[in-house]
Structure 1
Amino acid sequence: MNYRQLQNSVYQNASMGVTALKSMIPMVSDSNVKNLLIRQYNGYKAQKELTARQMKECGFTPSEPSFMSRMMTAASVNMQLRRDSSGGNAAKMAIKGTNAGIIELTEKLNHTSCSSPQAIQSAKEYLRREQKNIESLKPYL
């Protein structure tokens, strides 16, 4: 995996977070959890913009996750929160999604041949923020 692939993985990870939380936030009934999800959403949005800017500076265009992937995520979120919009369920869903993203990005980071210390450091910082997001949601389980 090279620089472009690693950066695109971060971009897609953040994009999926934006998609999922954009669907979740309006449906969550617990204001404390909703505020945490809004903060996480804003972090994903900022990461997505930063990564896109860094890629464009290097002459690359980030690619969005597939339309089908985004639609399936939004539909799944809507279905699950229609049954239970409690803070506990929303926290559980967000933690599961965040963990899935952590696993995917960690695998890619562990198998990268990217020679850009900046890109590797940026991906590791993103993963640290993701761990903090999980920790902030755990009390609501």
Structure 2
Amino acid sequence: MTQSELEKEIYKTASMGEHAAESMLAYSQSAGIKRSLTSQLNQYRNFKRKIESGNQIPQATSSMKDRMLKMGVKMNLMMDSTPSHMAKMMIQGSNMGIIDLQSALNHHPEAPKEQKQLAQDMISFEQQTIEAYKKYL
């Protein structure tokens, strides 16, 4: 069984979120933000595991994109590592994830119901994440 485009997008979005949260944890000075990032990181890993549990090995994001993401986070946080700024960065990332996932859902109406539900679950998670980070703004 080949991996569907929707599965690829879910996995890509979860991987990007995972890498961003991991990178930000190293710079976090706030216990509250650390808890939020750790919780978010664990949830991204859960989404990845759900895709990985299928028969097809997921296509990983490119190592170049990963390095660029980590470098961007590092540069951004070197200038401002306040909880407010970190929250803004995570909110922006979650918004991008929502956009990418919704676009994938719209472009792949033929995807199996389980995959559509997983994408919807991830969108809901990203929306909850945005709400959780608003208190740090």
**Under a length normalisation based on structure 1, what TM-score does the superposition of the two structures give?**
0.91
TM-score norm. by structure 2 comes to: 0.94
Equivalent residue runs for 1:87-102 within 5 Å:
87-102=83-98
In structure 1, what is the equivalent of residue 8 of structure 2? 8
Partner Cα separation in structure 1 for residue 49 and residue 97 of structure 2: 18
Which blocks of at least 5 consecutive residues in structure 2 are unaligned? none
Could you tell me how far apart the structure 2 residues matched to 1:109 and 1:115 are? 8
1:79-115 deviations in whole A, cap 9, x for unaligned?
1111111110110001111111111111111111334
8 A Cα contact 1:15 1:48, kept in partner: yes
Equivalent residue runs for 1:1-141 within 5 Å: 4-54=4-54, 56=55, 60-141=56-137
Instruction: Report the AA paired with residue 41 of structure 2.
Output: Y
Corresponding letter in the other structure for 2:83: G
* Alpha-carbon contact 2:6-2:111 (below 8 Å) kept: no
Measure, in 2, the Cα distance between the counterparts of 1:8 and 1:100.
Answer: 16
Moved over 4 A (4+): none
Looking at structure 2, the residues matched to 111 and 95 of structure 1 have their Cα atoms a distance apart, in angstroms, of 24
CA RMSD in angstroms, aligned pairs only: 1.4
Q: Is the 8 A contact 1:109 1:123 kept in 2?
A: yes
The count of aligned residue pairs is: 136
Query: Separation in 1 of the partners of 2:113 and 2:45?
Result: 23
Structure 1: tracts of 5 or more residues without a match: none
**Aligned equivalents of 2:118 and 2:23: distance in 1?**
27
Q: Deviations over 1:33-79 (max 9, x none)?
A: 1111110011001111111113x2xxx22101111111110000001
Percent sequence identity is 34
